[in-house]
Structure 1
């Protein structure tokens, strides 16, 4: 596992290190979402959620059963504490845990829209989504909530940082996301990069996310360039 600079991310890394990697892998439960991307790509913003995803029916059944029977101990040993009981339903497992006085929202999402692939990620020290599926999940998330200002365009920033790291959106990721959501994928990417031409809007969002404004600007510029490559109509007007 790589070293992390932000104290809160070091605690997140400690929590990840306590998890049973074999149990997660056996049930195809992969670390993903914003915190995985943030920690993998240089801690460019603050993120304190632990989001795992499972697209396998039998795997999710086992995860759900263990959570119902053992609570937080299904996933974390001491000294991680449960702040509240699991909420368990068809969409996933959700709780809040505490480690070293830091509260962490923990969720396992039952992914029913796309298939997922994972591997052991050396940077994160945990089974995690492969990069193509990190892209795919962020494309879906951006389509779902890019127009919710309370989210502060975090999915667009994360997509931009992924593009900067991996140079372009993988065809596999785009195909998966578009198979699930159709043209709304490109419409929402185009919408958000246009919205964030407003420097005040971008600055305010970066501040909410505790992200350097220059890093945020670079991320959106990278996403805008990639959108122009994929969908040339974004550059018109």
Structure 2
């Protein structure tokens, strides 16, 4: 269960009765300009933490960006609420904010209304007099106007939320008051346990990466919490020559303002602001990820950060994961059929290369027989619990070597194959949190790749993908000795591995053609993994 499986925005800005159903790990909102996509993100930001004053202040300025137009805070807050139509004949609409959801979130529904209050205070102040008027008394009447905005917030808790374990779900009512002086307060004050109502969330806007101070704080937090290395690895996807990030004050200037510098292999120490918006915004996304852990990351105008060609690869893996979710996992488990191959590794290790196939393996003769019989009588119904969004160009082909068929999804062809594994006996499968089907164990994942490399390392059409996959396993420390022992019980794998590494290193372009063909964005991991593989004895 995700924090939000379904969200209904009953009323927020110009949105009314908008339902977002069947939300997954990654969700895209696509539409024309000014159709409300940003409003949806704002509604989710508010829903995640409606009792946080900072959230309200962020929302009030979110659309102003770097320009900081001098709009009134009150006016900005008021425009979060639906407005009555100006046409007299038009049907009136409620003016409050109302959002509800289903999922693991501690909040089930919020309802918010606001009131404008203005106070006028009259007082008399003595007026300065001249010496000539010393015997006369002068007084002048003054008036002082103060305004404030009151938000009345009602929260309905979700009794099924794991965040509220041990708490008795009750309704929560609070009032947030924004004074004209800039002061803001909440009544009654929140107890510490009410923090469990909030959902971790971060939002990326087209302008948010331009705040130097904000970036400095986020990078400092990354350094203190030991995830700066991960941030750098993400940046390497866009520019493999990026080596490090530093917060420095340029000694050649009189300014005492610190800035972020990138240690670049070709350019040396270079200010972040000299790089393009793509690198700067990707850095901002990477730095915001920890804030959204176990929660939601909202990105407005994603396409302005990552080129559409790069997005296509991620969409390809999303299609594969969707297909996995539609398979009959219980039947595959019953037949001892396990997900494996390069696609499994790509999904496990950050989608480091392209893979368009879904591979399963079965070493259980009885299980493979059961699988074949079910396919013979039921065809696709034997494997899929539902086929929504999928089409199948032909019938399933099955023989003693395996089961094969193509799947069309979003006009993209993906091949699924179940291989009858006769070389080694597979261990009990792993259960991966993100994967809905049984998957090869760590030992078998590596053993199968060692065997595959032995079979086809001399075939240039394979693009050394098995060697590259083994390099990734070595880079992440997931190449156990037991995998070598298990694979070599079938046939030799160590000597073919050494020859494959030597052949790869002799490539005139250093493997760049293979990296490009497999859409590998970070060859550094592969090179370091190959170095570790070369030490295998």
Same fold, TM-score > 0.5, yes or no: yes
Give 2:451's match in structure 1, choosing from 140, 156, 180: 140
CA contact (8 A) 2:475 2:532 kept: no
The structure 1 residue matched to 2:531, chosen from 224, 227, 230, is: 224
Partner residue, 2:348: 40
**Number of corresponding residues:** 225
Instruction: State the 1:192 CA deviation.
Output: 1.6
1:92, 1:107 within 8 Å by CA — same for their partners in 2?
yes
Is the helix fraction higher in 1 or 2?
1
Partner of 1:130: 441
Q: Is residue 504 of structure 2 the alignment partner of residue 203 of structure 1?
A: no
Provide closer, same or farther for how the CA distance between residues 222 and 194 of structure 1 changes in structure 2, counting only shifts above 3 A: same
Whole-Å separation in 2 of the counterparts to 1:199 and 1:8:
31
The offset of 1:25, in angstroms, is 1.0
Structure 1 residues 139 and 170: alpha-carbon distance in aligned structure 2, compared to 1, 3 A threshold: same
Deviation at 1:101, TM superposition (A): 1.9
Match of 1:189 in 2: 497
Displacement of 1:62 in angstroms is 0.9
Post-superposition offset of 1:168: 5.0
| 1:88 CA displacement | 1.1
Once the two structures are TM-superposed, the CA of residue 219 in structure 1 deviates from its matched residue by 1.7
Aligned-pair distance for 1:170? Answer: 1.0
Match of 2:366 in 1: 58
Deviations 1:53-77 (A, max 9, x none): 0000111011111122222222122
What is the correspondence of 1:157-196 to structure 2 with a 5 Å cutoff?
A: 157-165=468-476, 167-182=477-492, 185-196=493-504
Deviations 1:162-208 (A, max 9, x none): 1122x1521221111111112xx112211121122236151011111
1:235 paired residue number:
none
**Structure 2 counterpart of 1:78:** 387
SS at match of 2:534: helix
**TM-aligned CA deviation for residue 121 of structure 1:** 1.6
**TM-score normalized by the length of structure 2:** 0.40
SS at match of 1:31: strand
Asked which structure has the greater RCO (Cα within 8 Å, sep 6+), the reply is: 1
Note if contact 2:453-2:466 (Cα within 8 Å) is conserved in structure 1: yes
State the match for 1:234 in structure 2.
none
Moved more, 81-90 or 103-112: 81-90
Deviates more, 1:25-34 or 1:196-205: 196-205
Partners of 1:93 and 1:149 lie apart in 2 by 25
Other-structure match for 1:18: 326
SS of 2:354 mapped into structure 1: coil
- 1:17 to partner: Cα distance: 0.7
Q: Which structure has the larger Rg over C-alpha atoms? A: 2
SS in 1 for 2:350: coil
CA shift, 1:221, in A, is: 3.1
